[in-house]
Amino acid sequence: MPNCENCGQKWPWKTVVKNTMKFTNKAKCPYCEKTQYLKPKSRKLTAIFSYIPTLLIIALTLILDLDGWGIFLLAAALMIVFLGLYPFMTKLSNDDQMPT
Ligand SMILES: [Zn+2]
């Protein structure tokens, strides 16, 4: 779980997921109210997060011979799993520095 860079408090899982679902990397610390930026721990993780779900969906669709609904449910299930894991793979920062 990420720690606030300003006050050092550990953020609850719920707070991180809520902000991830808002598609924003900016969030206010629930403890010290300072704006923090969510960033992935490393560039490699960002790449894994953007490619693995897509590859898994394509691979499983071919292997399991899924139809429209199967693909939809599979994508939804994968999204929930990745969203649930995401807070464990993020860090908080005082400044908005995009990984380069
Ligand atoms: Zn804080």
User: Does residue 89 register a pLDDT over 90?
Assistant: no
From the CA of 35, how far away is ligand 1's center (Å)?
8
Tens digits of residue pLDDT in 43-84 = 777 777 778 888 888 898 899 888 888 888 988 888 888 888
Helices and strands (H, E) in the chain, number of each type: 3, 3
Please tell me the predicted confidence (pLDDT) of residue 100: 53
d(CA 22, CA 100): 23
Q: Which pairing describes strands 26-28 and 90-93: parallel, antiparallel, or unpaired? A: unpaired
Query: How large is the angle between the packed helices 68-85 and 43-64, nearest 10 degrees?
Result: 150
Question: Taking ligand 1, which is a single-atom ion, which protein residues have CB atoms under 5 Å away?
Answer: 4, 6-7, 29, 31-32
| Bigger pLDDT: 17 vs 32 | 32
The domain segmentation of the chain, as residue ranges, is: 13-93
Q: Which pLDDT value is given to residue 8?
A: 95
Question: Average pLDDT, stretch 26-39?
Answer: 92
Task: Return the closest-CA partner of residue 47 out of 95, 89, 2.
Answer: 89
